Amino acid sequence: MQQKTGRKPSITISETDYERLTGLAEALEDRNPEASETMMAELDRARVVRDGSLATTIVRMGSTVVYTADEGPEKTVTLVYPGDADIEKGRISITTPVGTALIGLKEGQSIDWTARTGQTHRLTVVRVTQEENAA
């Protein structure tokens, strides 16, 4: 059963990611209000769990994610903070529309997200891998 367009799936994030991402969203308010607002909306609807209790199949900061967009080919990215982003190495920032859409999703979940062009896309998480030394 597919969700109606615009309805967001449930997401889960760790306490540490929640705190760090809230700080980042607040810091972005003046520079990039749209990214700040989108990130805060995602954080507001997230279920926050203790560090270490997040399932390995859930996207968190540092996760490598295989996903499809609009039923296209699979793409692989690693979700990082803005200073670590490098699109050529597949490292996308949490502040991008795709990065914000990915956080907290689990394998098999889909979400509708809006690109900077205003076009709506559907993203589906295929597989999530965690860094071996992730906190």
CATH code of residue 56: 3.10.50.30
Residue 6 placed within a domain: no
pLDDT given for residue 135 in this prediction? 45
Residue 17 placed within a domain: yes
78: tokens are 């690693």
17-73 pLDDT tens trace: 999 999 999 999 999 999 999 999 999 999 999 999 999 999 999 999 999 998 889
109-129 pLDDT tens trace: 999 988 878 889 999 999 999
Residue 1 placed within a domain: no
pLDDT given for residue 118 in this prediction? 84
Nearest Cα neighbor of 47 from 103, 96, 88, 94 is 103
Largest CA distance in the chain: 40
Residue 73 placed within a domain: yes
Nearest Cα neighbor of 105 from 22, 2, 10, 40 is 10
Count of the separate structural domains present in the chain: 1
Residue 134 placed within a domain: no
Residue 68: give the domain boundaries. 12-129
Residue 135 placed within a domain: no
Residue 40 placed within a domain: yes
pTM of the model: 0.88
